[in-house]
Structure 1
Amino acid sequence: MLDRPVQSRTPLATAEPRPFAPRPPLGPGAAAPGYGESYAPAIEPEGMSVGVLLATLRRRRWVLILCALLFPIVAYVATRQMTPLYTATTKVMYDRQEYSDPVLRGPTAVLQDGTTDAVLASQVEVIRSLSVARRIVRQFELTRRPEFAWWLRDAERAGTLPFRIRAELADRLAPWSAELAELVAPRPIARTPPEERAEISAAEAVLDQLLVAVVRNSRVLQVQFTSEDPHLAQAVANLAAELYINDQLESKFAELRRANDWLDRRVAALRGELQATESRIAEIRARSGLARGVAAGIGTEQLSRMTADLTAAREQLATAEARLAAAQRGGGTDLTALGAGSVTAAIAAQNEAQREFERLSATYGRNHPEVRAAAARLAAANRAAGAETARVVSALTAEVQAQRARVASLEQSVRSQQEVLNETQAAEIQVAALERDAEALRALLRAVLERSQQTVSQNAIERPDARVLSPATLPVRPSFPRVTAFVAAAAVLGILFGLLVVWVLEQADSTIRSGDDLRGALGLPCFALIPTLRKGILGRHRAEDYVVRKPLSPYAEAIRTLRAALWLGADPPRIVLVTAARPGEGKTTTSISLARSAAMNGERVLLIDCDVRQPGVGRVFRAEGAPGVTDLLLGQATLEDILRRDHLTSLDYIPAGAAEIHSLGLFMSEAMVALLERVRRDYDLIVLDAPPALAMADARVVARLADATLLCVRWRDTPRSVVRNSLGLLEEARARVVGAALTRVDAKVHRRSGYADSEVYHPRYGGYFRE
């Protein structure tokens, strides 16, 4: 018997009512009740740590191993089914040669400011141009290879078995249903496209397999071509590089040709301009007289002499005009001044005759013969003076006219000479300008001719901007598929997928897997982990008899642990109800094992089967059909009539009795309360085997009458939501759920799970047990 005195029996009439401590509602951090009025806090489950992670992987290791092996195997088989591809690589060095001649950098040459990333990217696109691809197609007749001609690959489909089957089936269905035959018939074989379109399609396929990239931090272009034929891959890679270099050289030659053509046109234009300029000079010389040797200095000297003569003539004309004016005014003095002696003598005779006439007139009067004779002489003198004066004026007039004619002639000559001189000077200025233009044209023509000679010589030394560093060699190993890399990647992917599956399984697994899970999910203490009894361990024994047959086994020790947990509370219960959330949890086996284990410890134990609809105690003890608790509650039997003794231990038990009754009303009756109070006085421990609490109301009613309720939870089988729901129903019935037990635990699996309570099944404790 346990080292704890059994409480004295209390008569039914004097027994004090058992205090009831309601359980607080479940929730995060909710407390679990003890055996008295105190409640123990729920133990939080262990957080994610390296140990927990390793334990999880250890539990799910077969899933991880399966994924880690399945993926590489599938990858290996798949790679073996793939057509191998071979890649050949040619490396080209790009080194742009800039023209030093500014003429070649002129309108016909392409300007590039050094080798930049944009320049290298442009070269990549040049190599991958459609024109290069089409020349590759023509060179190797790739339109005849199914690898590059999709219509040839489609034609191969006609020889496949599915195509023939569908075609035959369509032919058979055609007489019956044209629509069904069209639906079943295979897709028609594609026709060969026109030559131009076929070449473009093959060129596009070539571009898909032609990879050109710039080696990082360099000017090296890497040309790669992938094909099913390694020889074709090598040839195409080398040809692409060769075409690129040849195109560059041809482009340079074209630039030089364009430069030469431009220079030739420039030379012809300069020669034409020079010839036109020289012709213009000759024409101006011929028109201006410069061709006859007339110099600007001679014309200027002649103009100076003519100007001096003109000045002198103008002075003489002025003198003649003054004398003429004086002669025309009359007067002896003026005429004398003119130097005319005859005029002076005539004027003197005239003056003398005038004085004589005036004297005689003053002396004799006007009619005196001497006065008239003097008047006649005066008149003759006047006539003689007038005639002489008229002669002098006429001479002076003639002289003035002559001088005027001379002045006019000289003025005309000066004007003519001035015009000639001006025309000559303008011609000389124009000729000088034209001669300077002609000299400039000659100099430019010489420079262009020199540039033309340089461009002609450039053809002999021109080289492309790129060169082959290393030609492609024949690939001996396929570049695709890389079996080792694929298998390694598949292994990594398999491990990652396995980890994902493990995580999903862990998240999807809502069952309770350890005592920590139970405490975290329900807030209840886990009293024991009851191991499952395999057939190999049981042998000829039954699971209910194993605790008796093998009292030193781990199973018997787990049952004793459960009994100790019930006894170690502040108020050890006498009436313990054992129930579960649903059938198959092992509650009946646990009830019988707990009762037998307590009886083997020397306690007075009574086992009552309260599961009326599916009684298990009577089946185990071979008491089916015997009167039981229902008969007692109906008043059809006494306690002594239904009380039976276990044939292996000192355990007393009461079968369920008649099943075809309304048991709920019986358990709610005063007779049931009286029964429990009576047996409480006679036994140290009363174990009630109740039906599942989730579906049957009987369990909740009987749990209300028990001192403590033990909830059995099947390890890694019952969902947490189901257990929580059943626990909630028991709490609503104000049952005192003191703890739970994990049943049917696989000891080997749980030992490798990594949970803290798996230590119980470690082999190091093997010396304490005897199977």
Structure 2
Amino acid sequence: MLDRPVESRPPSEKRPTLRTPAPIASPIEPEGMTVAALLAALRRRRWVLILCALLFPVAAFVAAKQLTPRYTSSATVMFEPTDYAARELQSILRDETTTDAVLASQIEVIRSLSVARRLVRQYNLTNDDEFFWWAGESKRAESLRYRWSEALAQRLNAISPSLAELVAPEPIPPRPPEERAEIAAAEAVRDKMKVEVVRNSRVLTISFTSEKPQLATDIANTAADLYIADQLEAKFNAVRRANDWLDSRVGQLRRELGQTENRIAEIRSASGLTRGVSAALSTEQVSKINTDLVEARNMLAQAEARLNAGRGGAGGGADMTALGSSNLVQQRAARDQARSELGRLSATLGPNHPDVRAAQSRLSDLERSVGSETGRVVQALDASAREARARVRSLEESLRLQEARVNQSQSAEIQVAALEREAEASRTLLRAVLERSQQTVAQTAIEKADARVLSPATLPGSPSFPKTMLMVVAAAVLGTLFGLLIIWFLEQADSTLRSGDEIRAGLGLPCLALVPMLRRGLLGRHRVEDYVVRKPLSPFAESMRTLRAALWLGSEPPRVVVITAARPGEGKTTTSVALARSAAMNGERVLLIDCDVRQPSLGRVFRCEGAPGVTDLLLGQAVLERIIRRDHLSSLDYIPAGAAEIHSLGLFMSEAMAGLLDRVRRDYDLIVLDAPPALAMADARVVARLADATLLCVRWRDTPRSVVRNSLGLLEEAHARVVGAALTQVDAKVHGRSGYADAEVYHPRYGGYFRE
């Protein structure tokens, strides 16, 4: 097949022309999470979802069984406030409109501390560890563990007090005072009691939760009974207070009415008023006295005028005739005549004449007579004036007394009228209060509470906590959500490549083939490298044909193909051997060269370890015809790696390597180079630069995407023509259920095309 050795080839002074590398396509940005992608992810990781959806309910069920069950019993009460007819009681027992505030107040009344304390006393809850913490502490002292710890501490106390203190159990605290214990238990009762208003109604639901179903039922019913009894007692007390107040008011009104009537009688008695007699008589008497007084005053004026006239008349200047004294008038006339006579005699006879003296004597007698008569008249006038004055004073005093009596009578009548009006008002109020008192007494006889029990609490048949089924269902939902979250996290954290779509989206390379993984049960006694020959109609052999077709169908079908990977264990050697054998079985002339000098694999595959190979040829220690070997299962020719050489990079960069490839390119249709991993070994990049095409092997769901990208970047920097990638060691069953588009090839409908 090869008729010329490498040494017979015409010498060349130049290095062979290297192929221009094909540009690597930019990675395709993946689409958002679609429904199909989500379903595919759920299908791939369904066991995670199933495990979470099962573990959470199981854990919830186990936890629910470990919890102490609690039972809730409920009683319903209808709040029906009654009306009161007595208006006086509205300030004491006022019927308020049933509002949310009123119902909220009723709730607080039921949950009040006084009701809770009565419940504690009735059921002796201070000795129940569910309601009073000290009861549980006292029971702890009776436990076996406490006694053992206490006994051990006592024995260790003689040896080491500090160690005994560590071992000794926590001491039981002393019991609090009864008052504090009762309040603490009442607070616990309030916490376990729940009172709610049924929506859009006046129905109150009283619920109580306890570890003992009978106790929960009893306390719920007792709380409802205490609420109703307290309401009724409050009403009775209020009505009783109202009755007492009304009775006291009746007594007070009666006393006030009696005092008013007594006062009226006293005023009538003191003022001389007689019920039904008119005051006209007193007025007529006052008028008569006034008339008499006017006449008396006129007579007094006349008497005083006469007296004054009489006194003036004594001097000779008054007309005594007007005074009614005729003797005095005559005597005055005689005196005047005697005086005239004396004047005439004195003028004619002289003062010492006897006639004159007789006339003077007669005049003196007459004057004495006139003075004596005048004194008598004046005394009579004076007595008459005094009499008139006394009469006026008497009438004035009578008038004053009568007027005072009249005024007193009028004031008494006014007071009596006011007191009679007050007495009438008191009588009216007394009648009203007596009427209300009778109504209140009747109200007491028919009084009822503002609430009634609609349905009493019954013994609960199942615990209200824990709700095992609800907890299991909630845990299942939570487990499902948690499973979805884990799946999302695993999907986001999984940076491996799982399908051809991800190869194209993440690396910008076409996925040329999906190489299935061959399990031990499927291989039997065959080796993986021999499977393509032993089972030519298997899916594994078909993937190799697919890979060969993808290489051949390109725009420039390559002859020299480098198969490499990002890191060891990617299946590159298996792919190289299987691809080469598959192509050879198709009638092509194929040469397989092991370029992984540091960890050669073809010697192990073809059982030719230690045979000369490519390193010996490149070092000039062997000829090409002596190192080419024939596969015993196919028409494949192969060249092993040869002797290990730490300076293999220089050998691959030499002209001998380029000349080797030029020589075999003329004699073979396909040359497959098994190169070392591209990420850590520089040999792979040099060999890839010399080849026509480079195929990158990526292990399915194992190699991180960043590692592959890094390797691809190194190959790009080496100007290698990376034509595509192959996913190796694909689990056909798992990938077939993954939901990816290229998983269709593993569908059972294609089973007729393959033979395992």
- CA spacing shift, 1:534–1:356, aligned 2, 3 Å: same
Partner SS state of residue 77, structure 2: strand
> How far 1:389 sits from its partner (Å)?
4.1
Contact 1:548–1:648, Cα closer than 8 Å, also in 2: yes
Instruction: Output the CA distance in 1 between the equivalents of 2:48 and 2:408.
Output: 116
Contact 1:42–1:525, Cα closer than 8 Å, also in 2: no
1:220 and 2:200 equivalent?
A: no
- Name the structure 2 match of 1:264: 247
Contact 1:626–1:657, Cα closer than 8 Å, also in 2: yes
1:488 and 2:468 equivalent?
A: no
1:752 and 2:749 equivalent?
A: no
> How far 1:557 sits from its partner (Å)?
1.6
Instruction: Output the CA distance in 2 between the equivalents of 1:11 and 1:298.
Output: 180
> How far 1:358 sits from its partner (Å)?
6.5
1:104 and 2:89 equivalent?
A: yes
- CA spacing shift, 1:329–1:611, aligned 2, 3 Å: farther
Contact 1:45–1:519, Cα closer than 8 Å, also in 2: no
1:552 and 2:537 equivalent?
A: yes
> How far 1:18 sits from its partner (Å)?
4.3
- Name the structure 1 match of 2:571: 586
Q: CA RMSD in A?
A: 3.3
Instruction: Output the CA distance in 2 between the equivalents of 1:510 and 1:160.
Output: 57
Instruction: Output the CA distance in 1 between the equivalents of 2:447 and 2:635.
Output: 116
- Name the structure 2 match of 1:655: 640
Instruction: Output the CA distance in 2 between the equivalents of 1:754 and 1:10.
Output: 57
Contact 1:511–1:720, Cα closer than 8 Å, also in 2: yes
Instruction: Output the CA distance in 2 between the equivalents of 1:582 and 1:160.
Output: 65
For residues 165-184 of structure 1, give each alpha carbon's deviation from its aligned partner in whole angstroms, at most 9, with x where no partner exists.
Answer: 65566556545543344334
Contact 1:332–1:344, Cα closer than 8 Å, also in 2: no
1:33-72 aligned at under 5 Å gives the runs 33=25, 42-72=27-57
1:129-208 aligned at under 5 Å gives the runs 129-157=112-140, 163=146, 170=153, 174-189=157-172, 191-208=174-191
State the AA in 1 paired with 2:235: K
Partner SS state of residue 425, structure 2: helix
Correspondence for 2:304 among 295, 301, 321 = 321
Partner SS state of residue 72, structure 2: strand
State the AA in 2 paired with 1:649: S
1:223-242 aligned at under 5 Å gives the runs 223-242=206-225
Partner SS state of residue 90, structure 2: coil
Instruction: Output the CA distance in 2 between the equivalents of 1:667 and 1:334.
Output: 196
- Name the structure 1 match of 2:3: none
> How far 1:528 sits from its partner (Å)?
1.6
Instruction: Output the CA distance in 2 between the equivalents of 1:237 and 1:608.
Output: 91
- CA spacing shift, 1:565–1:14, aligned 2, 3 Å: farther
> How far 1:705 sits from its partner (Å)?
3.2
Instruction: Output the CA distance in 2 between the equivalents of 1:668 and 1:168.
Output: 86
State the AA in 1 paired with 2:209: T
> How far 1:308 sits from its partner (Å)?
2.0
Partner SS state of residue 716, structure 1: coil
Instruction: Output the CA distance in 2 between the equivalents of 1:303 and 1:753.
Output: 136
For residues 383-412 of structure 1, give each alpha carbon's deviation from its aligned partner in whole angstroms, at most 9, with x where no partner exists.
Answer: 555554444344333333332232223223
Instruction: Output the CA distance in 1 between the equivalents of 2:723 and 2:740.
Output: 23
Correspondence for 1:423 among 408, 427, 446 = 408
State the AA in 1 paired with 2:295: A
- CA spacing shift, 1:575–1:376, aligned 2, 3 Å: farther
Partner SS state of residue 452, structure 1: helix
Instruction: Output the CA distance in 2 between the equivalents of 1:279 and 1:161.
Output: 89
State the AA in 1 paired with 2:37: V
- CA spacing shift, 1:332–1:142, aligned 2, 3 Å: closer
- Name the structure 2 match of 1:303: 286
State the AA in 1 paired with 2:196: A
Contact 1:215–1:222, Cα closer than 8 Å, also in 2: yes
- Name the structure 2 match of 1:466: 451
Instruction: Output the CA distance in 2 between the equivalents of 1:501 and 1:159.
Output: 48
1:312 and 2:292 equivalent?
A: no
Instruction: Output the CA distance in 2 between the equivalents of 1:624 and 1:169.
Output: 74
Report which stretch shifted further, 580-589 or 730-739: 730-739
Contact 1:12–1:678, Cα closer than 8 Å, also in 2: no
State the AA in 2 paired with 1:408: R
Partner SS state of residue 335, structure 1: coil
Partner SS state of residue 755, structure 2: coil
> How far 1:92 sits from its partner (Å)?
1.7
1:204-603 aligned at under 5 Å gives the runs 204-290=187-273, 296-330=279-313, 334-353=319-338, 384-603=369-588
Contact 2:79–2:202, Cα closer than 8 Å, also in 1: yes
Instruction: Output the CA distance in 1 between the equivalents of 2:251 and 2:361.
Output: 103
- CA spacing shift, 1:377–1:704, aligned 2, 3 Å: farther
Instruction: Output the CA distance in 2 between the equivalents of 1:692 and 1:720.
Output: 15
- CA spacing shift, 1:366–1:675, aligned 2, 3 Å: farther
**Unaligned stretches of 5+ residues in structure 1:** 1-8, 24-31, 34-40
> How far 1:531 sits from its partner (Å)?
0.9
Using the aligned pairs only, state the percent identity. 69
Instruction: Output the CA distance in 2 between the equivalents of 1:287 and 1:511.
Output: 127
State the AA in 2 paired with 1:77: V
> How far 1:189 sits from its partner (Å)?
4.3
State the AA in 2 paired with 1:115: T
Partner SS state of residue 103, structure 1: helix
- Name the structure 2 match of 1:20: 20
Instruction: Output the CA distance in 1 between the equivalents of 2:626 and 2:418.
Output: 154
Instruction: Output the CA distance in 1 between the equivalents of 2:679 and 2:16.
Output: 31
1:686-705 aligned at under 5 Å gives the runs 686-705=671-690
For residues 91-130 of structure 1, give each alpha carbon's deviation from its aligned partner in whole angstroms, at most 9, with x where no partner exists.
Answer: 2221111322112223xx2434222222222222222223
Report which stretch shifted further, 488-497 or 116-125: 488-497
For residues 108-166 of structure 1, give each alpha carbon's deviation from its aligned partner in whole angstroms, at most 9, with x where no partner exists.
Answer: x2434222222222222222223323333333334444444444434444566665665
- Name the structure 1 match of 2:753: 768
State the AA in 1 paired with 2:697: C
State the AA in 2 paired with 1:740: A
Report which stretch shifted further, 682-691 or 588-597: 682-691
State the AA in 2 paired with 1:609: D
Correspondence for 1:622 among 588, 607, 615 = 607
- CA spacing shift, 1:360–1:300, aligned 2, 3 Å: same
Contact 1:709–1:737, Cα closer than 8 Å, also in 2: yes
Instruction: Output the CA distance in 2 between the equivalents of 1:15 and 1:659.
Output: 25
For residues 253-301 of structure 1, give each alpha carbon's deviation from its aligned partner in whole angstroms, at most 9, with x where no partner exists.
Answer: 1111111222222223323333433444344445444489997444333
> How far 1:534 sits from its partner (Å)?
0.9
Instruction: Output the CA distance in 1 between the equivalents of 2:673 and 2:152.
Output: 72
For residues 711-747 of structure 1, give each alpha carbon's deviation from its aligned partner in whole angstroms, at most 9, with x where no partner exists.
Answer: 2211111222222232233333343333222111111
> How far 1:46 sits from its partner (Å)?
4.5
Alignment size in residue pairs = 746
- CA spacing shift, 1:680–1:365, aligned 2, 3 Å: farther
Contact 1:210–1:225, Cα closer than 8 Å, also in 2: yes
- CA spacing shift, 1:370–1:139, aligned 2, 3 Å: same
1:637-716 aligned at under 5 Å gives the runs 637-716=622-701
State the AA in 1 paired with 2:649: L
Report which stretch shifted further, 718-727 or 357-366: 357-366
> How far 1:307 sits from its partner (Å)?
2.0
- Name the structure 2 match of 1:26: none
Instruction: Output the CA distance in 1 between the equivalents of 2:238 and 2:447.
Output: 11
- Name the structure 1 match of 2:5: none
**TM-score computed with the length of structure 1 as normaliser:** 0.87
Instruction: Output the CA distance in 2 between the equivalents of 1:82 and 1:192.
Output: 28
State the AA in 1 paired with 2:694: T
1:607 and 2:592 equivalent?
A: yes
